[in-house]
Structure 1
């Protein structure tokens, strides 16, 4: 009998603590500020009037941060025509951009509001061994993405979380 009474007291005490835990509440107001992440591409581009073997085509793309927050940036550089890509020397990407396994180039610095990146590359060179009559018209497409840098230690980490 004493055992049953002790069990009932213990169960009642435990039950009242669980009940108190379940009904306890506290209100908190969380304020979330929405900030637009906006960037754009700027470039110096000087297309030659008559490109031929050995032509150096000036093209210097960079990214500008139009946001009010620091961002990380990545770009993809694509030839519009694979035959034309084979007719050009490999593009020399600048040291401040790191090649990712996903085909993007990652700018290795936080891009502060109003700042621009270093150029991704400076020019396109048509190989000397290509015959002029075999040249294929092409475009170089530069595609860019940006992500807020706060909370991340590298651009690769920030983009991996998307």
Structure 2
């Protein structure tokens, strides 16, 4: 009887060693797998603003200087001090530029700006130059985000939505 218990004990230990050996082999083979390589690239995103001044006329362009990514562009023009000119004293115009109906102060470029491309001119011009008696500055703020589409058939709402996704808001005066 004692001999039989010793055999069972030895067989039990041998079984535990075999199970541990198999488990260790499986664990090691799982842990020594090939590393996962990310297959995506971050967007290449950079734009520059160009301004030319001729008297009381300012011509604004934005260039997409990125190597790979298309961009959506918006520009905000601010007169400082604000009381220097009334809204009827100047005009802002440009082909493929749309003023936001929500009055956030931005003009949205309605075409996708491909890498290396420049926007068409956005022109700020004082209407009655003779009536300007106070000095003022015309400040130009430019923002851009990576374009989610390179199609030229986008609506202004789709472009505004891309800016919302990029920064969470379209009105810079919101906190």
- CA RMSD of superposed structures (Å): 2.5
2:43/2:146 contact within 8 Å kept: no
Whose relative contact order is higher, 1 or 2, with alpha carbons under 8 Å and at least 6 apart?
1
Please report how far the alpha carbon of residue 116 of structure 1 lies from its aligned counterpart in structure 2 after TM superposition: 0.6
Instruction: Give the Cα–Cα distance (whole angstroms) in 2 for the partners of residues 59 and 88 of structure 1.
Output: 17
2:81/2:136 contact within 8 Å kept: yes
Can you list the C-alpha shifts for 1:30-56, whole angstroms capped at 9, x where unaligned? 323123311111122123xxxxxxxxx
Aligned to 1:159, the other structure's residue is in SS state: helix
TM-score, normalising length: structure 1: 0.66
Unaligned runs of 5+ in 1: 1-26, 48-56
Q: Which range moves more in the overlay, 115-124 or 138-147? A: 115-124
CA separation of 1:35/1:78 partners in 2, compared to 1, >3 Å: closer, same or farther?
Answer: same
Unaligned runs of 5+ in 2: 1-34, 167-175
Q: Which range moves more in the overlay, 33-42 or 80-89? A: 80-89
1:88/1:127 contact within 8 Å kept: no
Counterpart in the other structure of 1:148: 146
TM-score, normalising length: structure 2: 0.61
Counterpart in the other structure of 1:76: 76
Counterpart in the other structure of 1:111: 113
